[in-house]
Structure 1
Amino acid sequence: MKRFADNFLWGASSSAFQIEGGWDADGKGMSVADYNSFQRSAVQADSKVASDFYHHYQEDIKLMKEMGLKTYRFSLSWARIIPDGDGEVNQAGIDFYNQVIDALLAADILPFITLYHFDLPFALVEKYNGWEDRRCVEAFQRYAQVCYQAFGDRVKDWQVNNEQNLMIRVNERMNMYDVAPEDAERVRAQMDYHMFVAHALATNDCHKLVENGKIGPAVSSTMTYPSSNRPEDVWAAKMNDNFKTNYGLEMYCFGDYPGYYKEYLTKCGIYPKTQPEDAAILKAAKPDFIALNYYRTLVASYLPVDEQHPYGTKEKDIDFDLYGFFKVERNEHLASSKYGAQIDPMGLRLVLNEYYRQYRLPLIITENGLGTPDVLTEDGKIHDDYRIDYIRDHIAACYDAIQDGVELFGYCPWSVMDLLSSHQGFKKRYGFIFVNREDHDLKDLARIKKDSFYWYQEVIKHNGLE
């Protein structure tokens, strides 16, 4: 029996634009995530209805209670609360989230809130080009304060944003629609920096405004193996982790970019503009924990510069290669999901150990799951043994990490129910609960418990694996 601590938080996760629907209901504004989903409406589902949590939240929270969840990690929609990003507060949006929070608490489920999950109000893009402009930082600080004041009497666990370190690498999530290629890295670096300042302001304000509030960053975790034991490849693997995740964790935890990242920004001529007061703001922001999202590991080899590719040249976006540092390779020793993510439970144990060793902060997993098509049988069931196997193996890795000495206090798989996948619509499903719809056929939106629902229910009941 792999038994966890009595106060371990078994949960599940979602995000506003992927689950809520009601994209323009009751005064909500359009977000960047909405805009991007509408560009793909002809080929897949968009965010207009999604899983329709907006109209089904009471039913859905009852299912969460039945499953036994101790916590529910979800995001608020900035554009539902402040439709144009920095204007008037929409009371209907506040009312909706008050109802969700109260329903969760009535079900003995702790609300664990993310303030920003890929869904910047689109009005801020039109006014400021979003995070490139310092005014977006001010708008976010005000939005966070509105949330703390509205919900902080009942919500004590907060995340500022979801996967800034991954978000910054995806052009559409950063509204980089009309940026000239030669200017892209400068704009990206400025947006990234402004998000760090906003994160620090929101962290400091949470500690001031929310009694007993706790707050921390949520990162897309990166664990990279060297392609060989050649020293250059070992260094390349470290630098892949550094450039894709660790530089951000250092900024969150210590309030400054690490030396290797400063050197890179300076050599490439893209060091962001800063304000004199920023250093004190960033240094004061001390996270209470680190949340990590884990799906896969990577492999890297050393990538030298050449005549066509000088220092700092990037290729690709999410899993980019960086000349002078690293090239991402495929791991021949791992199986992959249908959508290409390599499955590696041991990597989770490794990354938990690595983050705890470096930062000595409590950890919680806020995303981990298997995205794949599910088949509804003729008798109305979903037999997803493959998902059970995946989650069982990763829970076992969590247990092993705890035995290693890691202070892990919760596990929230992605996702509580099927929801809108950014690039695969409803073809790619992650949930414990099946949502009966297809990309262009809403059907009845019925909620159907998968085999994994009942399995996870038993895990929570027994507080671990048999």
Structure 2
Amino acid sequence: MKTLTLFTTLLAVTAAKKCIVKDNKAAEGSETETVEGDLQNEIDSGVESETDAADDDELLDLSTVDYGDNVDITTVKKLPKDFKWGAATAAYQVEGAWDEGNRGESVWDHFTHEYPKNVESGDRTIDYSTNGNRACDSYHKYEEDVKMLKLMNAKYYRFSISWSRLFHDGEAKKEDGKWNVNQEGEDYYNALINTLLDNEIIPFVTLYHWDLPYALHEKYGGWLDYHSQYDFANYAEYCFETFGDRVKNWITINEPWVNCVSGYRLGPGKAPYRCTGEAPRRLANDTTGLDLEGGCSYEVGPTQYTPESEVLPANRAPQKLEDVWCSHNILLGHAQAVKVYRDKFQKEQKGLIGITIDGEAQIPWVEPGISKKEYENNKKYANLAAEFRIGWYSDPPMTGDYPASVKERMGKDLPEFTKEQKELLKGSSDFLGWNTYTAHWAAQVKNEDGSYVEPPTAEEANFDNSKKDMWDDNCKGRGDGWTCIPPTLGSQAGSSWNTKFAPTIRVGLNWFNDRYKNLIKNGIVITENGCAQPNYKVARANDEVTKKYFESIGQPQYADTYGEEDIEDESNINGTILHDKYRQDWYDQYLKNLRLAYAVDGIDVRGYMAWSLIDNFEWENGYETRFGMTYIDFYKDENLTRHPKDSLEHLGQWYLENVEQN
């Protein structure tokens, strides 16, 4: 398909998922209005001033920037009948029962309890409003979740296992043929798996979805320490041995970028709330007047990054590059677990194992009057941004090493894999799991005079300089609370980092396919995709700036504007809460692009898991942001009754119409 080839070298993702807009009115202050006004003038005039100097360059024909999705979907082949169709959740977000059944404490338990003000709450008088103590109570109500799966005709259910529910201290050991497992935890997962199979739903199991046992964080700093890879492999071995007779689809790690970058640098967005932006308040010489229930943490065990590294002291302030070392060790943990599966279980159990990374398409910035030369440069930078944001985590399991561009620009700040580790990593993912939500524009950064910011030299190569010339974001700037300044790359969904741009999924699938041709033996599975509807915290109804931007480049359909009536109204469950038109349209647009990627582009995409089956604990956003296709009133309904939204059955119908049936 000629039109899409413009975008097959592009991709990257979700800015820090900690971004919150608490007051839309505050986002409409004088500074934002001025920026929007200036941008509107540029759109109306058709050419930005910085392109005036490019008179010698041939202008880009904007009509050639086409994503090829103006197609009657019924004219292309359907997805195959063995397509893995289902929905997804994560243990900490839905299980609850945090201290029942001898479950051990996870980092999310510990840090939400110690720092509750890092989590949004609609009512802080309710003790579970800032944590997953109760969540959806799926520990007791999993059979009700299965009923919801049946409503969407789900054939698969992607859920995660709570490591600390099985091993209180995180250390899985087998002595005299018997594991030191918490039997009540094992019984729960056996019951869930068996109930799924009894309902003809296939379990798709994630071993780790961010809920590290706190005991390991306290012992050695969790993923910061090289010992973590071996503890994870031991835990994985237990799971393979115990559940592998029925589980044939395994994901080792979910979204290592979010776990490491948001947990160890961009905090306090994700546990364990490590961050380099501010000093932990509890380490201040004088804590008088400081709110010690929020902010960054200092609690951590004595840590050794590698066997050759010095041991860093316990309870220290966050160190630079913690996110980099977390990423390094978590990738090795993935590889060690895969080795165990392949050496001991895969031949007999005949299952598949892979990793899930997150990231959306990097779209080269385009505007009226842009030259072909500048657009080509933006395409180059879109690919470069993708290598940093996605390839950093997807290259090692595919090729055995980090992308060359990342190694070049990071210099000595990037750890190196040994020869043995490279061999362990290469080809360690039978399939590639991809969580995709939003897209980013990308371009080379410019100086005030319109000249390009130059890439770092070899002498400048380090973490701080690695992306100094690289811009990627889904809006043209950020205001207070990380709110986007329009135009946005698609309409503003209910999280500040999340915008609806349907070509995301197709562009990304093509990027993976081109980059890893013949390396992904069992295809790509979309392991998460979905949205929070515009809501009382985050919405941008009647967004004229975004609308006029997309009109100016000949793509009005991607502005995807909506009205006030489409914003969720928590006071009226029978309104947009249950009749979630925006979410239904989201799924329709993204799934259309997925089907086109399969049918037209020939991409080996083998599954799709909608996020999320039910409203749940949305990490630092608490219960104030709803990604679910099933409504739960967390504050007023003691029974946590499941109410299916229109999107749940809408997806069930989509499956019948777009996937080959037996």
With the length of structure 1 as denominator, give the TM-score of the two structures.
0.90
Contact 1:384 1:450 in 2 (8 A): yes
Contact 2:120 2:620 in 1 (8 A): no
* Pairing 1:226–2:364 present: yes
**Aligned residue in 1 for 2:323:** 188
**Aligned residue in 2 for 1:318:** none
The Cα offsets for residues 268-321 of structure 1, whole Å up to 9 and x where unpaired, read as x323375664233223x43211111111111123243699xx654549xxxxx9
> Take 2:500 and 2:147, find their aligned partners in 1: how far apart are those partners?
32
Contact 1:72 1:109 in 2 (8 A): yes
* Pairing 1:6–2:81 present: yes
The Cα offsets for residues 361-387 of structure 1, whole Å up to 9 and x where unpaired, read as 201111111113444646698111111
AA partner of residue 360 (structure 2): T
**Aligned residue in 1 for 2:102:** 27
Aligned-pair CA distance for 1:442: 4.9
Q: Among 97, 116, 132, which residue is 1:40 paired with?
A: 116
Residues 129, 379 of structure 1: alpha-carbon distance in 2 compared, 3 angstrom cutoff:
closer
Residues 386, 324 of structure 1: alpha-carbon distance in 2 compared, 3 angstrom cutoff:
closer
Contact 1:312 1:322 in 2 (8 A): no
1:299-448 → structure 2 map (5 Å cutoff): 299-303=441-445, 304=453, 312=462, 314=464, 322-326=467-471, 328=473, 330=475, 332=487, 334-340=490-496, 341-360=498-517, 361=520, 362-372=523-533, 373=535, 374-375=568-569, 377=572, 382-403=578-599, 404-438=601-635, 441-448=636-643
AA partner of residue 449 (structure 1): P
**Aligned residue in 1 for 2:62:** none
Contact 2:102 2:182 in 1 (8 A): yes
Q: Among 42, 45, 49, which residue is 2:134 paired with?
A: 49
Contact 1:311 1:323 in 2 (8 A): no
Q: Among 366, 389, 392, which residue is 1:247 paired with?
A: 392
AA partner of residue 109 (structure 2): D
Aligned-pair CA distance for 1:119: 0.8
Aligned-pair CA distance for 1:48: 0.1
Uncovered stretches (5+) of structure 1, i.e. residues with no partner: 316-320
Residues 347, 166 of structure 1: alpha-carbon distance in 2 compared, 3 angstrom cutoff:
same
Contact 1:207 1:213 in 2 (8 A): no
Contact 1:252 1:287 in 2 (8 A): yes
> Take 2:443 and 2:382, find their aligned partners in 1: how far apart are those partners?
7
**Aligned residue in 2 for 1:71:** 156
* Pairing 1:296–2:438 present: yes
> Take 1:143 and 1:447, find their aligned partners in 2: how far apart are those partners?
32
**Aligned residue in 1 for 2:90:** 15
> Take 2:579 and 2:101, find their aligned partners in 1: how far apart are those partners?
38
Instruction: With a CA cutoff of 8 Å and minimum separation of 6, indicate the structure with the bigger relative contact order.
Output: 2
* Pairing 1:114–2:206 present: yes
AA partner of residue 326 (structure 2): M
SS in 1 for 2:261: coil
Aligned-pair CA distance for 1:65: 2.2
**Aligned residue in 2 for 1:82:** 167
Which range is displaced more, 157-166 or 142-151?
A: 157-166
Which range is displaced more, 369-378 or 111-120?
A: 369-378
> Take 2:398 and 2:455, find their aligned partners in 1: how far apart are those partners?
35
> Take 2:657 and 2:193, find their aligned partners in 1: how far apart are those partners?
26
The Cα offsets for residues 150-193 of structure 1, whole Å up to 9 and x where unpaired, read as 10000000111111123221125463333656x321x3222211
> Take 1:50 and 1:435, find their aligned partners in 2: how far apart are those partners?
10
SS in 2 for 1:25: coil
> Take 1:423 and 1:378, find their aligned partners in 2: how far apart are those partners?
24
Residues 161, 296 of structure 1: alpha-carbon distance in 2 compared, 3 angstrom cutoff:
same
> Take 2:224 and 2:463, find their aligned partners in 1: how far apart are those partners?
22
> Take 1:387 and 1:205, find their aligned partners in 2: how far apart are those partners?
40
**Aligned residue in 2 for 1:282:** 425
AA partner of residue 604 (structure 2): E
**Aligned residue in 2 for 1:452:** 647
Aligned-pair CA distance for 1:351: 0.6
Contact 2:531 2:586 in 1 (8 A): yes
Residues 412, 215 of structure 1: alpha-carbon distance in 2 compared, 3 angstrom cutoff:
same
SS in 2 for 1:397: helix
Contact 2:257 2:393 in 1 (8 A): yes
Contact 1:207 1:214 in 2 (8 A): no
With the length of structure 2 as denominator, give the TM-score of the two structures.
0.64
Residues 274, 346 of structure 1: alpha-carbon distance in 2 compared, 3 angstrom cutoff:
closer
Contact 1:115 1:160 in 2 (8 A): yes
Aligned-pair CA distance for 1:464: 4.6
Q: Among 331, 344, 354, which residue is 1:216 paired with?
A: 354
* Pairing 1:158–2:314 present: no
> Take 1:458 and 1:69, find their aligned partners in 2: how far apart are those partners?
11
> Take 2:388 and 2:246, find their aligned partners in 1: how far apart are those partners?
37
AA partner of residue 584 (structure 2): I
Residues 174, 236 of structure 1: alpha-carbon distance in 2 compared, 3 angstrom cutoff:
farther
* Pairing 1:202–2:337 present: yes
* Pairing 1:142–2:298 present: no
> Take 1:234 and 1:378, find their aligned partners in 2: how far apart are those partners?
44
SS in 1 for 2:492: coil
Contact 1:301 1:329 in 2 (8 A): no
Contact 2:495 2:532 in 1 (8 A): yes
> Take 1:425 and 1:149, find their aligned partners in 2: how far apart are those partners?
35
> Take 1:128 and 1:275, find their aligned partners in 2: how far apart are those partners?
22
SS in 2 for 1:405: coil
> Take 1:442 and 1:121, find their aligned partners in 2: how far apart are those partners?
30
Residues 110, 190 of structure 1: alpha-carbon distance in 2 compared, 3 angstrom cutoff:
same
Aligned-pair CA distance for 1:357: 2.1
> Take 1:255 and 1:142, find their aligned partners in 2: how far apart are those partners?
22
Aligned-pair CA distance for 1:416: 0.6
SS in 1 for 2:227: helix
AA partner of residue 342 (structure 1): T
Aligned-pair CA distance for 1:195: 1.0
> Take 1:327 and 1:292, find their aligned partners in 2: how far apart are those partners?
19
Structure exhibiting the larger radius of gyration computed from Cα positions: 2
The Cα offsets for residues 217-237 of structure 1, whole Å up to 9 and x where unpaired, read as 111123212235525433332
AA partner of residue 227 (structure 1): W
AA partner of residue 352 (structure 2): K
- Alignment size in residue pairs: 451
RMSD: 2.5
> Take 1:130 and 1:58, find their aligned partners in 2: how far apart are those partners?
33
Residues 306, 60 of structure 1: alpha-carbon distance in 2 compared, 3 angstrom cutoff:
closer
| Percent identity of paired positions between Structure 1 and Structure 2 | 29
Aligned-pair CA distance for 1:342: 1.7
> Take 2:213 and 2:454, find their aligned partners in 1: how far apart are those partners?
39
